[in-house]
């Protein structure tokens, strides 16, 4: 009987499955949102680098054509 009471008390302390599922869904929403924000920042940075590479390439070609 004592073991049953102890198990009963432990079960009361444990989180309900629906609460854990809700927490999992909220965590997934948060991480998905953060991933979208980070992907946007990465893509903006890549676009800036691509633009700079093209500008430097054009500048190099201009100098190359002047020197030769």
φ/ψ of residue 18, rounded to 5:
-65, -35
Domain annotation covers residue 27: yes
Give the residue numbers spanning the domain of 52.
16-67
Domain annotation covers residue 40: yes
Domain annotation covers residue 5: no
Distances (CA, A) of 50 to 9, 27, 28: 62, 34, 32
Tell me which of 61 and 1 has the higher pLDDT: 61
What six digits make up the tokens of 35? Answer: 């991933």
pLDDT for position 15: 66
- pLDDT tens per residue across span 9-68: 777 777 677 888 899 999 999 999 999 999 999 999 999 999 999 999 999 999 988 866
> How far is it, in rounded angstroms, from Cα 47 to Cα 58?
17
Task: Count up the domains in the chain and report the number.
Answer: 1
pLDDT for position 66: 87
């Amino acid at each position: 009987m004592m073991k049953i009471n102890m198990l009963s008390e432990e079960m009361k302390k444990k989180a309900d499955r629906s609460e854990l599922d809700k927490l999992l869904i909220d965590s997934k929403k948060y991480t998905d949102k953060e991933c979208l924000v980070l992907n946007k920042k990465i893509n903006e940075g890549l676009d800036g680098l691509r633009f700079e590479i093209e500008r430097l390439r054009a500048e190099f070609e201009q100098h190359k054509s002047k020197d030769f």
